[in-house]
A and B are shown apart, each in its own frame.
Chain A
Amino acid sequence: MTDIHAKEQTNIKFTVESLNLFYGDFQALNDINLTIEKNEITALIGPSGCGKSTFLKTLNRMNDLEPNVTINGNIYLDSVDVNKDMDAIELRKRVSMVFQQPNPFPKSVYDNVAYGPRINGIRKKTQLDEIVERSLKQAAIWDEVKDRLHKSALGLSGGQQQRLCIARTLALEPEVILMDEPTSALDPISTMKIEDLASELKKNYTIVIVTHNMQQASRISDKTAFFLLGNLVEFDTTITLFSQPSDKRTEEYITGRFG
């Protein structure tokens, strides 16, 4: 068993096996099985309330913060069970999250990006400077903020704030970045910038992105998972899922006939 896994897993970041999640008595995820590959963008699509965010949060155990959540099944990150054999804090440093509403801290641009390195114990100014600059450049926002690093991040536009939040995440040097509808609060140009950024980042990171935007999913993702009422209806390469969906419900959803 372990041998087979070891062979397969060279390119696999997450393996999810028969995952069920309950909020109290309500079952929000129903027997989910899928794998997420390294250096790919995996898109999660589906109508509102189908469990996309819930699933995304199981990947870095953000659900631990909510009361009355029960999870069974297994999630492996590099073949280590995240629920049984990993500390949630460590997990979230490796698998970090970007949210729908840009949520920079009410601190300076610099302090936002330096937050992660600082909680990891990095104190040296030169080292922090370097991480901040590198992260902001990676997030394609350096040119826009380099002259105002020490001003409040809340003065940035929504699109800039979201790229700052991505920079803040990158500063932690995670392995996986989870994005929950990162562009739904943004204008088209900011959206495009974030999409370009995601495509660029997948060279070094694994990305899982929730989106309501079919075009976005087809533009940037390698694999797409379609959720409906807590079930994973279809999971395939994005090209296949959008051109020849094998499930009728998938087809109806992507052609806009419901949802």
Chain B
Amino acid sequence: MSTHKTGTLPSAKQSAFQKFKNEYFWRYLIITCGLFIILLTLGIGFFLVVKGSGTFTEFHHSVWEFLFSSDWSPMDSTTESGGGVGAAIYIFGSISTCTLALLFVAPFSITSAILMTEIAPNSGTKIFQPAIEIFVGIPSVVYGWIGLTVLVPFIKHLFHPKMGGYSVLAASIVLAVMIFPTITTVAADAIRSVSSDYRKAAYGMGSTRWQVIYKVIIPAATPGILTGVILGLARAFGEALAVAMVIGKTRAFPANILSPTNNLTAAIASDMGNSATGGEQNMALWTMALLLFIISIFFIFLIHIISGKEKKKHA
């Protein structure tokens, strides 16, 4: 700051200071933030590995048992052990609800994305896009609550299942509605970013609009659309509250889609708080959290593979 006092020949020094302020300061700030985020992620991963591996190291259960056994009877105390930690019901609950949700929502999402970008781009950007963005911001408890008060009674009324309307179906539909905006916006972005050169080429050869969409735009946007689908799936896997409200929280494999069951996130959310720290049950719940973490890492990895392939193709 002395440059201000000397006054006569400040320009070189001042510009160095300015340069520092303009360039390096922001650069270092951003690098610091970036490193912090990386550290945080690594930290969470490390923490989950340490906590979650206790089931196998401390309590000597096998990975096989954890993944494929449905005997869930862990001891809830710090002194006893020897119960079962089979999480297969929860794992199956997560997989079945998410898969069904995806099956329900993917056709709608992709059709909507096409509609708002290719068929009606004007009302698409003016009405549809903002409406969908509002959906993203709605807290999951609201989805759960609507599921609980509208969907569950409706399913009960329609099919009269033995256990009421709480079911895999209800959870899948709630999840489907929740991930609809994610998949739709990412897919719409992917479609919008397809080079208009491809469109021109296709129209210039006498393609109909449907042919342009179906044979040129969708194939070119497929990696982006898949990214949206995977992001939606990741969100569905991680959702706890809304699912917990409608899935019925019953520890049994569902006999069909109208039966209640439970899933990983709902089980962790409801049991983690009351379990004795360091006990067998507590550890098993950590292992389930670790599994969710591994699944989401896997999804991110998939997205990178897809977009990496895409980059290679364009190189």
Residues of A within 8 A of B198 (CB): 103, 105-106
Query: Are A103 and B206 touching (Cβ within 8 A)?
Result: no
Query: Are A106 and B205 touching (Cβ within 8 A)?
Result: no
Q: How many A-B residue pairs have CB under 8 A?
A: 71
- With an 8 Å Cβ cutoff, the count of chain B residues facing the other chain is 20
- A23 close to B (CB within 8 Å): no
Interface residues of B, dominant DSSP: helix
A103-B197 contact in complex given A115-B215, A154-B314, C-beta closer than 8 Å: yes
Listed stretches A87-95, A192-200, A207-215, A245-253; interface member: A87-95
| Binary contact track A99-121/B, C-beta < 8 Å → 1, others 0 | 10101111100000001101100
A99 to B206 alpha-carbon distance, docked (Å): 14
Residues of A within 8 A of B216 (CB): 105
Contacting A at CB under 8 A, from B295-315, are 313-315
- A65 close to B (CB within 8 Å): yes
- With an 8 Å Cβ cutoff, the count of chain A residues facing the other chain is 31
A105-B201 contact in complex given A119-B215, A152-B313, C-beta closer than 8 Å: yes
A172-B205 contact in complex given A101-B197, A103-B195, A105-B198, C-beta closer than 8 Å: yes
Interface residues of A, dominant DSSP: helix
A209 to chain B, nearest CB (A): 15
Query: Are B314 and A89 touching (Cβ within 8 A)?
Result: no
- B34 close to A (CB within 8 Å): no
A154 to B203 alpha-carbon distance, docked (Å): 20
By Cβ-Cβ distance, the 9 closest A-B pairs, closest first, are A97-B204, A93-B206, A92-B206, A103-B197, A103-B201, A89-B206, A119-B211, A106-B220, A96-B205
A-B CB contact pairs (8 Å), 21 listed? A89-B208, A90-B206, A94-B206, A97-B204, A99-B197, A99-B200, A99-B201, A103-B198, A105-B198, A105-B201, A105-B216, A115-B205, A116-B206, A119-B205, A119-B207, A119-B208, A154-B313, A165-B201, A168-B201, A168-B205, A172-B206
Question: What residues make up the interface of B, taking CB atoms closer than 8 Å to A?
Answer: 195, 197-198, 200-208, 211, 215-216, 219-220, 313-315
